[in-house]
Amino acid sequence: MDKILELRTRRAGIIDQMDALLASVPDGDDMTAEQVTAFDALKAQDDKVATELTRLEDLERRRAAAARTPEPLPGSTAPVAGTTPAKPAEKGLTFGRMVRTIAAAGGNHYVAQQMAEANGDSGLFANQNMSTGTAGGFLVPEDVSTEVIELLRPVSVVTAMGPRIVPMPNGNMTTNRRVSGANFGYGGEQEDAPATGYEYGQVKLSAKKLSGIIPVSNDLLRSSSTAVDRMIRDDAVEDAAQIQDRHFLRGAGTEYKPKGFRYQHLGTPFEATHILTMTASPDVQKVDNDLGAMELALGNNNIVYTGAHWIMSPRSAMFLTNLRDGNSNKVYPEMGENMLRKKPVHITTEIPDNLGGGGIASEIMLVHPAHVMVGEHMGIEIAMSTEAAYKDASGTMQAAFSRDETLMRMIMQHDIGLRHLAALSIMTGVTWGTAG
CA dihedral 311, 267, 165, 133 (to 10 degrees): -110
Quote the CA–CA distance of 400 and 389 in Å, as a whole number: 6
Which pLDDT score, from 0 to 100, does residue 119 have?
Answer: 77
Record the pTM: 0.73
Cα-based distances in Å from 80 to 59, 86, 108, 411? 27, 13, 41, 45
* H-run or E-run covering 195: none
Cα-based distances in Å from 410 to 13, 177, 219, 240, 419? 19, 32, 21, 9, 29
pLDDT in tens, the chain (436 residues): 457 667 777 787 788 788 778 878 887 788 888 888 888 888 888 888 888 878 876 776 666 555 444 444 444 444 444 444 444 568 888 888 888 888 877 777 778 888 888 877 777 876 655 444 444 567 787 888 888 888 888 999 999 999 999 999 999 999 887 665 555 666 666 666 555 544 547 889 999 999 988 888 888 887 777 888 888 889 889 999 999 999 999 999 999 999 999 999 999 999 999 999 999 999 999 999 999 999 999 999 999 999 999 999 999 999 999 999 999 999 999 999 999 999 999 999 999 999 998 899 999 999 999 999 999 998 888 888 888 888 887 889 988 889 888 888 899 999 999 999 999 999 999 999 997 5
382 in Cβ contact with 137 (< 8 Å): yes
Residue 206's CB: how many other CB atoms inside 10 A?
19
CB within 8 A of 284, min separation 6: which ones? 323, 324, 325, 326, 331
Quote the CA–CA distance of 58 and 41 in Å, as a whole number: 26
Which pLDDT score, from 0 to 100, does residue 128 have?
Answer: 58
270 in Cβ contact with 422 (< 8 Å): yes
Residue type, 161: M
Torsion angles phi and psi, residue 270, rounded to 5 = -75, -10
Which pLDDT score, from 0 to 100, does residue 53 have?
Answer: 74
- Which domains does the chain carry? 93-185+206-257+374-416 (no CATH), 261-372+420-430 (3.30.2320.10)
CA dihedral 72, 75, 76, 78 (to 10 degrees): 50
* H-run or E-run covering 104: helix 93-104
Torsion angles phi and psi, residue 40, rounded to 5 = -65, -35
Burial class (CB in 10 A: 0-12, 13-18, 19+), 8: middle
